[in-house]
Amino acid sequence: MSEIEINNIYELCSFIDSNSKYDKVSIDLTEISEYGNLKHTLKHLLWKLNLGGTAELKFAGENKFLHDVHSLSFWQLKFSLINTLANDVRILGMEDDRVLIEKCKENYCINGVSFGIVFSGNKNEEEQLLNSLFSIQSAIFHSDLLNVEVVVCGPSNYDFNLIKDNLSIDVKYLTFDDVYDMESNRFLISKKKNFLINELSYDACVISHTRISFNNDFISKLNNKKFDIASPLILDSNTNKPYLGFVLTGSYDASKLNSKKTITGQMLTSHYFKLMKKRVAYSDGGVIIFNKNNIKHIFNENLAWGEGEDVDFCAQNYFAGCITDYLKDVICYSTKNKVNQSKLKNNRVINKIRCKLIEFGFF
């Protein structure tokens, strides 16, 4: 029987990054929960357990009944457990300072990978689209996975044969014209993405814009992962440096000023589990990965491009028990930068200092 005991954030990060699976896990969440990663911890704990395996969740915090500003209470552990893992585990026992659970279902296996590319039909996007498709073609040739489909969604007045004739793989072209609202001058990108999502066949969905290309091992790496929603590591194709992708921000509430500085790209120099104090995670909409079987919400069709549809997608699913993860060994490239590189803080020394201070509760 394989067993492990986890008592602090450093042991937790090593546990998450390893490829090992366990029959029994004991984890003390008293200190770990202070890092704001409780739902993420519970979900990764589930993924590390073998079917039928058990986990003891220990928590020595006070059992307050209000939502405290200084520390988590036991009721919050119970809420997070039920909200996140109710469909996957059985509660074997519960006391005032611990919960014993058993993994009774395996819900995170995927039956294949679906690539869905959002295409405007503009001539100036053709080269980007072709490069994106060439990269997927190469990833397919470098993978043993048979169940892979590639779907492009664009306007009906575009002749996709101009692109398709250059490829050695099958690519399906879906037409969608109801994307531009003349009255409000808005691009209804969420409506187009939802149409595309509903047409995809396999569990692992990769929704991207044409500026995104994929590493040769993208499919083989992704096929071995468990996830609800995830962001790959996105590199600037010109500099090969991390770019906007996985984001930690102060709140999902876009109607308020951000309560904490946003962390993304080159600023992510520490394990993100250490950086979630007073922050939440989302994946930028340039490329977003999710398990179609497990997410609870698709995109809000009332939100247009540039209105935070990606933040809202991750937020609604988070509140329904899904997490947004960071797959840093699953690599993509962005050929265009919609955010000024100076905003991403290029100084690695400063980034390391900043991340270390965030671990200790500053910023």
Would you say 321 and 84 are in contact if contact means Cβ atoms under 8 Å apart?
Answer: yes
The CATH superfamily assigned to 113-341 is: Spore Coat Polysaccharide Biosynthesis Protein SpsA; Chain A (3.90.550.10)
CATH class of the domain whose range is 3-103 = alpha beta
pLDDT score for 363:
65
What is the domain partition of the chain in residue ranges?
Answer: 3-103, 113-341
User: Which DSSP symbol is given to 200?
Assistant: -
Q: Can you give the pLDDT at residue 191?
A: 96
**pTM across the whole model:** 0.93
How far apart, in whole angstroms, are the C-alpha atoms of residue 129 and residue 134? 9
**β-pairing, 49-58 with 89-94?**
unpaired
Structure tokens that stand for 339 in this block: 């955010």
Q: What is residue 107's predicted lDDT score, i.e. its pLDDT?
A: 84
List, run by run, the mean pLDDT of 10-residue segments along the chain (363 residues). 95 95 97 94 97 96 74 90 96 94 92 97 95 98 96 97 94 94 92 97 98 98 96 95 94 90 87 92 97 95 95 98 97 79 57 70 66
At 87, the amino acid letter reads: N
- Pairing type for strands 212-214 and 148-154 reads unpaired
Q: Are 42 and 81 in contact (CB under 8 A)?
A: yes
What is the reported pLDDT for 182? 87
